[in-house]
Amino acid sequence: MTALIVVEAVAIGLLGLLVAGLLRSHAEILRRLHELGAGVGTGEEAAPPRFRVAAGVPAPGGTPAPDAADIAGVTPFDEAVAVRVAGAEQHTLLAFLSSGCTTCAGFWRAFADGPALPPATRLVVVTKGPDQESESALRRLTPAGVPVVMSSAAWDDYGVPGSPYVVYVDGPSGRVAGEGAATSWPQVASLLSQAVADSGGQDRRGGGRGGRGRRQRGRPEAGLGDAAREARADRELRAAGIHPGHPSLYPEAGGDAEGAA
């Protein structure tokens, strides 16, 4: 009798362990489903699925495009100026230059010659404020028709590490579409042209020269090559039934993909 009770107790204990394991497994499945956006009745936005790339592929930066800031300062010609950048109908190419740096000289010359800009793009040169720049030197360098704003605050707002540095702002969205250091204007122009072409825009050279031309409305996606391309790729992959974690995205992992549906 005692032996029967012991066997029964052991069996109940094993069954309890089995049930606990099943519950834990069930909870894990629900958690994964929730991460994939399949939560029901929670009333909360599901967190985006965890993203991972195959071995050997650099992970993308996790920082979203930062907001652009309008620019306020003075000009070398004793003017106060406030330039609208965020929310503007046109895009803005901010060129952070100085009057003294050797590399900047090429940019000043290129801007004086009338740089070819992407459609609906306004060029604005931004230097440090009057306490760190030579107004007389800038008066000599200022290209006709190009606004030059002296504003140390703008350098801080855009986190400019040094000159020359260019920032391309998508006007309608008010987001920084691209930025970086460059050694020459042709290098920047080439990258801009390529980005616009990739995004489906038409590179009508000269259309946005120096900010003096008539504004070209429309094509708000112009200049957003990476974002537009990524969104299109996502749409097409989803339409083909390939979601995050799909085995086909991890050929070297043999299809044992985390979060596979």
Cβ distance to another protein smaller for residue 48 or 87: 87
Binds another protein by CB under 8 A, chosen from 68, 83, 166, 189:
83
Instruction: Output the smallest distance, CB 55 to another protein, in A.
Output: 47
* Helix 102-112 / helix 185-198 crossing angle, nearest 10 deg: 60
Cβ distance to another protein smaller for residue 74 or 257: 74
Binds another protein by CB under 8 A, chosen from 44, 214, 252, 254:
214
- Stretches 52-60, 145-153, 190-198, 244-252: which one binds another protein (CB under 8 A)? 145-153
Cβ distance to another protein smaller for residue 149 or 182: 149
Other CB atoms within a 10 A radius of the CB of residue 221 amount to 17
- Closest by CA position to 180, among listed 172, 170, 192, 198: 192
Q: Rule CB under 8 A: is residue 144 a binding residue for another protein? A: yes
Instruction: Output the smallest distance, CB 83 to another protein, in A.
Output: 5
Prior bond to 164 cis, omega within 30?
yes
* Helix 225-239 / helix 185-198 crossing angle, nearest 10 deg: 30
Instruction: Extract the tokens encoding 64.
Output: 């979203």
Q: Rule CB under 8 A: is residue 109 a binding residue for another protein? A: no
Binds another protein by CB under 8 A, chosen from 13, 37, 87, 206:
87
Binds another protein by CB under 8 A, chosen from 9, 38, 82, 233:
82
Ramachandran category for residue 37: left, alpha or beta (phi over 0 → left; psi -120 to 50 → alpha): left
- Stretches 13-21, 34-42, 138-146, 156-164: which one binds another protein (CB under 8 A)? 138-146
Cβ distance to another protein smaller for residue 59 or 144: 144
Is 169 exposed, middle or buried (CB count within 10 Å of its CB: 0-12, 13-18, 19+)?
buried
Sign of torsion, CA 170 107 155 84?
negative
Binds another protein by CB under 8 A, chosen from 8, 28, 77, 234:
77
- Stretches 25-33, 46-54, 129-137, 143-151: which one binds another protein (CB under 8 A)? 143-151
Instruction: List Cβ neighbours of 198 (8 Å cut-off, separation of 6 or more).
Output: 225, 226, 229
Name the phi and psi angles at 74, rounded to 5.
-130, 165
DSSP H helices in 36-90: none
- Stretches 15-23, 76-84, 106-114, 225-233: which one binds another protein (CB under 8 A)? 76-84
Q: Rule CB under 8 A: is residue 89 a binding residue for another protein? A: yes
Residues that bind another protein (CB under 8 A): 70, 72, 74, 77-84, 86-90, 122, 144-147, 211-212, 214-215, 217
